[in-house]
Amino acid sequence: MAAQITFINAAFALSLAALGACAAGYVFKRRGTAAVAAWAMGLAWAALTTGLGLLWHALGRPPLSNQYESLLAMLWFIYPLSFYFSRRTGKPEMLPAGALAACLLFGAAALLDKTPRPLMPALRSNWLTIHVLACMAAYAAFAVAAVAAAWALAKKKTEVLADFLLRLAKTGFAFLTLGIITGSVWADTAWGAWWSWDPKETWSLLTWLGYAAALHLRKKGLRGAKFSIILLGCFALVLFTYFGVNFLLSGMHSYG
């Protein structure tokens, strides 16, 4: 496990370096720091990809079976989302938001149990990869949107980032929809029921409804600070669904 942990730690360090470069650029008004941050983010993604590949090889299965492994998968999506939306929107705030989200998630991952364990019978399915990756992609988009929304509120730039926040929310919503659908299909094959009102299922649905309401209100004309605040409230649902349910509630999803 030493090699993969080394690469994962390197990804954390490079993410911190990217965040530091972004902060230096903001404080000292240096344009060159943006390129440094972009390179650090790219190298962090490469290091994390290598670490996950080595972990996959060591485990003999996709590293997606517990919260630590799924959190690394969520982190993996942070970087391409940051780069993609940075280029599509032309907003310089995108990379700092991605770097901060990555650093916070790496910090959370450091506190989780990293002990590898055999797959439970219910997890021995091809649906594992599809379902978990869809959910982690959704949570990654929501995490970057939440960080950007908080920054926009603090700097009073909610109108500047309005379209960017909307695109991220739509992206996360699409992936979460896919995650819930594939999870239901998987549940039927594993447990014989499409929906069991398990705590994780229930809170996933509440999260989906929260973002559905946010996007509906946005379509009806809600913009600016109010939309940013709603996104932060929706992300609180994500945090409880992903962390709170696992630690505070018991159910069929208590393994991750």
Confidence of residue 177 (pLDDT cuts 50, 70, 90): very high
Confidence of residue 45 (pLDDT cuts 50, 70, 90): very high
Provide the whole-model pTM.
Answer: 0.90
The reported pLDDT for the residue numbered 224 is 85
Q: Select from 8, 20, 36, 27 the least CA-distant residue to 100.
A: 20
The reported pLDDT for the residue numbered 197 is 84
The reported pLDDT for the residue numbered 85 is 83
Confidence of residue 254 (pLDDT cuts 50, 70, 90): low
Distances (CA, A) of 37 to 51, 93, 108, 146: 21, 12, 22, 20
The pair of three-digit structure tokens given for residue 180, joined into one six-digit string: 């819930």
Query: What tens digit of pLDDT does each residue of 201-233 get?
Result: 899 999 999 999 999 999 998 888 899 999 999
Higher local confidence (pLDDT), 45 or 3 = 45
The pair of three-digit structure tokens given for residue 170, joined into one six-digit string: 């739509």
Mean pLDDT of the chain: 87
Instruction: Give yes or no for residue 188 having a pLDDT over 90.
Output: no
- Alpha carbons 97 and 103: distance in angstroms, whole number: 10
- Alpha carbons 91 and 101: distance in angstroms, whole number: 16
Higher local confidence (pLDDT), 88 or 53 = 53
Q: How many helices (H) and strands (E) does the chain have?
A: 9, 0
- Alpha carbons 204 and 233: distance in angstroms, whole number: 14
Query: What tens digit of pLDDT does each residue of 102-132 get?
Result: 999 999 999 988 887 777 766 677 788 899 9
Confidence of residue 195 (pLDDT cuts 50, 70, 90): confident
Instruction: Give yes or no for residue 191 having a pLDDT over 60.
Output: yes
Mean pLDDT of 34-62: 92
Candidate from 37-46, 87-96, 99-108 with smallest mean pLDDT: 87-96
The amino acid sitting at 63 is P
Higher local confidence (pLDDT), 191 or 169 = 169
Confidence of residue 68 (pLDDT cuts 50, 70, 90): very high
Mean pLDDT of 183-192: 80
The reported pLDDT for the residue numbered 108 is 92
Helices (H), 29-126: 32-59, 67-89, 94-110
Contacts of 156 (CB under 8 A, 6+ apart): none
Q: Rounding to the nearest 10 degrees, give the CA dihedral for residues 159, 165, 169, 172.
A: 180
For CA atoms 29, 30, 31, 34, give the dihedral sign.
negative
Answer whether 10's CB lies under 8 Å from 47's CB.
Answer: yes
